[in-house]
Amino acid sequence: MKTKKIKKPLTIDQKISRRNFISFGVFSAAALGGALAWKWLYNSPIETITVTGGARKPLRRALNKTELAFRKVFSNNNLVKTYPKSMAAKKVRVNSDIGIEAEKKFDITAWKLQVKKQNSEMLQVSLDDLKALPKTEIVFDFKCVEGWDQIQYWGGVKFSDFITHYKLDDQAKLGYIGMETPDKGYYVGIDMPSAMHPQTIMAYEVNAKPLPLEHGAPLRLIIPVKYGIKNLKRIGTITFSNTRPPDYWAERGYDYYSGL
């Protein structure tokens, strides 16, 4: 007769050491996995600096995938939260001044908005022309990637109204707009759906008064669906294209899309 081998029950101490052994194994495997993943990322190539720059290629791929996912659900029916005027900051924060530095000469009276169509036709629009269009006002929470936000009150011409008025609808069928300061020191690229969002305005007022120079006089972009970096101060030129226009901060590694 065959005798069945009877498993001896483990003692408490044996159970504990067995569990320790297993958890140590799991921990080591996880740690090794993490280390290998890190090494893989660390050794992965850095993207070529074009309109975006500085990130490891896999990370940029992840950012671009995220952008595509967000753009699929982005809708111009979704509005950013707005606030009563009474909640707007009286002292509006000034952040940075790239392309609008105070020591640089700028003749505000000579300024005209340069609109460059894709067929390289040029349109020149004065501030008075823009002020003659319906005014749109917005009070919203302005957010900077550097970690501050402030409820602010801006007024100007809705970008989509501007497009309609100047019969630029064919240009608005392209994928992007580019904007740059008159001195070309600061520039942004913006996907067309965000530019055409009903809360996107080209502002010439803050707190119901003409824009001060440090906030981008005579005209600046206010695009509540994006972080502050895309809200270009002192618009010189607007361009239209199907490829991503150059973008100051994207070239320095920030997310091109920079949506909220």
List interacting residues with ligand MTE (CB under 6 A): 93-100, 144, 181, 186, 215, 228-229, 231-234
Count of positions on this chain that bind Mo ion (CB under 5 A): 3
Residue closer to ligand MTE (CB basis): 32 or 87: 87
Q: How far is the CB of 187 from Mo ion (least distance, A)?
A: 15
CB-based contact 139:88 (threshold 8 Å): yes
Residue closer to ligand MTE (CB basis): 44 or 54: 54
User: Residue 232: which of Mo ion, ligand MTE, none does it interact with, CB under 5 to 8 A by kind?
Assistant: ligand MTE
CB-based contact 200:159 (threshold 8 Å): yes
Q: Which secondary-structure segment (H or E) carries 36?
A: helix 12-43
CB-based contact 150:130 (threshold 8 Å): no
- CB neighbours of residue 207 within 10 Å: 16
**Interstrand relation of 220-222 and 209-210 (parallel, antiparallel or unpaired):** unpaired
Among 99, 228, 236, 245, binds Mo ion (CB under 5 A): 228
Residue closer to Mo ion (CB basis): 35 or 94: 94
Residue closer to ligand MTE (CB basis): 44 or 111: 111
CB-based contact 219:235 (threshold 8 Å): yes
Q: Please report, as ranges, the residues that interact with Mo ion according to CB under 5 A.
A: 144, 228-229
